[in-house]
Copies of this chain bind each other. A is one copy, B any other.
């Protein structure tokens, strides 16, 4: 009943956070949850969408996508199909909502931060890795905005945000599912929470069977413990000096 990769049920996969992966965006993070690799970029542009102009508030938006070569079997490019699929839409919206929960859009001033989360390699948990990495990229972009004196308030981030998946596999509650487990999970949940232990988003879904309140509670316990570890890893990564030179003013 042990997991194929030797982990215990409540153990995260190895997490690796590489800041400054790209030179152009104000924040650029390659995050790895085991074999899942997501490139999270935070690009700053002056101004806000039309419907928000003159409000004094900033805006934060997110887009999630997968390289065709990221998956086991090559997946078709959404630009070629000419339309974005429901899953992509759903995850992009989740990332945006999750990160907006930690930022004071007034402090941001009339700037827009676009979070692009592009999956380079997929092995389960791409959306939770994306959220966890996007927070680090966002923190770097906020530092960059501060250094360029473009913030209305010096500390727009009120908390850290991380996310993890959890599921019931072979009747056991397990943390941070790789694709091999995820694809046969009976229940599947994604939890987004803060470093203060409060929740931002809970999404639990039965796959085939239904589940009890007790199971939901067990999944929440395990995932909150996982998120505590993830926020520590984020903090450690951000404590290091920015690698390489900072992006220029143009972002």
Contact = CB atoms under 8 A, between A and B. Distances in A.
Contacts of A16: none
Contact of A84 (B79, B205, B206): B79
B68 A116 contact: yes
Given A23-B121, A120-B22, A72 B250 contact: yes
A67 B83 contact: no
A96 to B, nearest CB: 10
Interface string A95-113: 0010001000000000000
A185 B63 CA distance: 25
The size bracket of the interface on A is 35 or more
A212 to B, nearest CB: 6
Contacts of A69: 22, 24-25, 28, 39, 41, 43, 116, 118
Q: Interface of chain A, helix or strand or loop or mixed?
A: mixed
A114 B45 contact: no
A104 to B, nearest CB: 10
A208 B79 CA distance: 29
A185 B13 CA distance: 36
A220 interface: yes
Interface string A150-177: 0000000001000000000000000000
B198 A114 contact: no
Contacts of A83: 79, 82-84
A217 B217 CA distance: 9
A244 to B, nearest CB: 11
Interface in A131-167: 159
A35 B63 contact: no
A63 B67 CA distance: 11
Interface stretch (A3-11, A47-55, A86-94, A229-237): A86-94
Nearest to A118: B67
